[in-house]
Structure 1
Amino acid sequence: MHETHAPATMTTVRSLDELTELIGTRRPLYIRWSLGPQTDLSTPTSRDGLTGVELPGLSANPLDVEDWWGDRSLRTWAARRLYDYSHLPRVRDGRVRPWLLHGREVGRGPDNEPLVRDVRPVGWVDERVIAQAEEEVARQKGPWGPLARP
């Protein structure tokens, strides 16, 4: 049996700086774009969109900084990780929101994303944080956009 822990209410991360601090101090930390833990944790699995195959955990994206990032800006790392999937509410469902979680990685999904079990929600990510992430990404030198690139 896999444990799930869905709080009645969750805190909300309200700034990119607050998200950056969490990434620097809490591991492992993941972000998931969905209707939220109350919905997800009732059946803590995801489905492959192409085949419909049930996956052995919730698909999420890691926020932990990779060693190759070196001493570069943790704020820029946080912004990019958030920004990469910021298109999901527009293309899936306007109710989709990002939320942070801890969990145990049990495999990889078809897009090589971590599949996580024993999920412990950490908090919602406010829309203002997404706007701040967009601003941070726009300040970078290279052209970039969310993964749903035209």
Structure 2
Amino acid sequence: MDGVRDWSMAVIGSLDELTGLLAGRRGLYVRWSMGPQLDLSREPSSRDALTGIELPGLSANPMDVEDWWGERPLRTWAARRLYDYSHLPRVKDTRVRPWLLVGTEAGRGPDNEPLVRDVVPLGWVDQKVITEAEEEIHQQQGVWGPLNRR
């Protein structure tokens, strides 16, 4: 990286806005970290928390809808993908925030998460979106069980 890059990013301000982004493309990922300025200041890599091994890309979670999701609402899919890791600021560091990116999958990490290179940051995911995602998940009924993310 050249050090002069402008790291200001758009802010995705609602779950509906995020859903609209997902509807229009594939290859989007969400990463929970302190942001691209830190993550991309050197060769992008994550570190396995258990072994300390440096991984060949940034750990990220895919936002692409899987075929098995069928005709279920895209909004609920987006909420579920954010909800999965919304506990990270509580357990890792309060400065950890989600941001959306595109990139090239370079492999899989120890939790089978994509490791992404050639990263292009798209925008921060506002805390309001996380709140909306949690509300969306809590409104689901039927076989949705509790996920302990505390």
TM-score by length of 2: 0.92
Amino acid at match of 1:74: L
1:86 corresponds in structure 2 to 86
Structure 1 range deviating more: 93-102 or 134-143? 134-143
**Cα distance in 2 for residues equivalent to 1:111 and 1:126:** 26
CA distance in 1, matches of 2:103, 2:125: 17
Residue identity (%): 69
Quick check: 2:7–2:36 contact (8 Å CA) kept in 1? Answer: no
2:124 is the alignment partner of 1:140? no
Instruction: State the AA in 2 paired with 1:24.
Output: A
Instruction: Report the TM-score when normalising by structure 1.
Output: 0.92
1:8 maps to which residue?
A: 7
Where do 5+ consecutive residues of structure 1 fail to align?
A: none
Please give the alpha-carbon distance, in whole angstroms, between the structure 2 residues aligned to 1:51 and 1:100.
27
1:128 Cα deviation from its structure 2 partner: 0.4
Q: How does 1:28-67 map to 2 (within 5 A)?
A: 28-43=27-42, 44-67=44-67
- For these two proteins, the number of residue pairs brought into alignment is 145
Runs of 4+ in structure 1 over 3 Å off: none
Provide structure 2 residue ranges, at least 5 long, that are not aligned to the other structure: none
Whether the 8 Å CA contact 1:65–1:77 is kept in 2: the answer is: yes
1:124 is matched with: 124
Counterpart position of 1:22: 21
User: CA RMSD for the aligned pairs?
Assistant: 1.6
Alignment check: 8 A CA contact 1:7 1:121 kept: no
Structure 1 residues 33-60: Cα deviation after superposition (integer angstroms, max 9, x where no partner): 0000000001310000000000000000
SS at match of 1:93: coil
